[in-house]
Amino acid sequence: MKLNIKLTAWIIIGLLLALGLFVLKQHSYEMIEQKIEFETPQGKLTGTLILPQNYSGNVGLVVFVHGDGPINDTYDDGYKPLWEKFASAGYASLSLNKPGIGGSSGNWLEQSMEDRAQETIAAINWAKALPMIDTQSIGLWGASQAGWVIPKIVREVPDLAFSILVSPAVNWISQGKYNTRLEMENEGFSEYEIQAKEHYNAQVLQLLNERASYEEYLRIAQSENLISKERWGFIAKNYQSDATKELSYFNAPVHLVLGGQDINVDIEETERIYREKIPVSLLSVSYFPNADHSMLSKKNAASPLRTYLTAVFFPRQLVDDQYLNDLSRFIKTHSQ
C-alpha cells in the first residue's frame, strides 16, 4: 500500500513538472527583451525594447500605441506573440508603460489624446538615438483608442515608414453609442431598456457639453454605472475626439485591421471613413470575420475561462489565427 502511494505521488510530481516545463516553453519567445527608461519633460517613462535574436546591422522598429485603460508595456504578456512575429521579420518593438503604470511617472487618466501623442513622439526620438535602429524604418502599431493618437503623431513625425491600426476608433461619441447598443443587445436587454440607457447617456453627454463638475454629474449618476472622479476628468478631456479630418495627415502606408465580431467599433463606418480620407495607394485593409475588438478569436472571446487557459497554455493561439500572419506579411513588405 505504501509503495503504491509513493508511486502515485511520484507520478503526480512528474506530471506537474512536465506541465510546468510545457507552460515555460510556451512562454519562451524567440526575441531579446530589454527593460528601458528615459526622461521626458513630463517625467520618467519606462517600458520594454524588443530586439530580434542574432540581429546584425540596423533593424526597423515598431512603436506600440495602447488602447484605453491602465495598460502596461507587455499588455500582461498579450503583446509578446506579436513582438515575436515582428522580430522574426527583422523588426524591433518598443512599448511603454502608461503614466502611473510600471514605474512611469504621472497618471494616464490625466492625459489628453494630444498628451499621448507627445509621449509617443518622445519615445520615437529616444529610439532614433539607438545605434541599432534604422531611423528610416520606424512605424507605429496601435489599437482602439490609438485611432485618435496615431494621426496626431504622424502630423508631427511625417517621416514614419508605416502605421498599423487595429480596430481604431474614429469618433468618441458615435463609438460610445454604437458600443452601448451592441453590448446591450448581445446581453439580451429589451429595446425599452436600451433606449432608457441611451437617454441616460444623452443626459451625461449634455453635462459634458456644459463643462459640468463631477458633483453636478453625481446628481444624476446611476449607482450601477458610476464613473469615478478621475475617469470623469479623462472623459471630459477627450470625449470630443474625432480622427476624421486628421486621417489626411497620413503620407505612408496605413494597414487597417478589423474584426467581424467587434462590438466596440462600427467597423463598416470605420472602413468607409478610412477609405474616404486616405489615398488608395497608401491604404490596405484586412478583415477577420471571427475576430473581436482585441483580435481574440470568436471561440476565445465567448469564454473567459477558455481565454485564460489559452493565455496560460497556448498564448500564440489567443488571437485570431490569421491576425499574426497578416501583420507579419505586412511588416515584411517594409523590411530592408
What are the tens digits of pLDDT across the range 127-164? 999 999 999 999 999 999 999 999 999 999 999 999 99
Average pLDDT over residues 230-244: 98
* Residues 105-126 pLDDT 10s: 999 999 999 999 999 999 999 9
The cell numbers describing 112, all together, are 489628453
Q: Is the pLDDT of residue 313 over 70?
A: no
d(CA 140, CA 94): 10
Percentage of the chain surpassing pLDDT 90? 79
- Mean pLDDT, the chain, whole residue set: 91
Residue 16 banded pLDDT, cuts 50, 70, 90: low
Strand ranges for the chain from DSSP E: 32-40, 43-51, 59-65, 91-96, 133-143, 162-166, 254-259, 283-288
Cβ contact 138:61 at 8 Å? yes
How much is the pLDDT for 14? 65
Strand partners, 255: 164, 284
How much is the pLDDT for 23? 46
Burial class (CB in 10 A: 0-12, 13-18, 19+), 55: middle
Task: Give the chain's largest Cα–Cα span.
Answer: 78
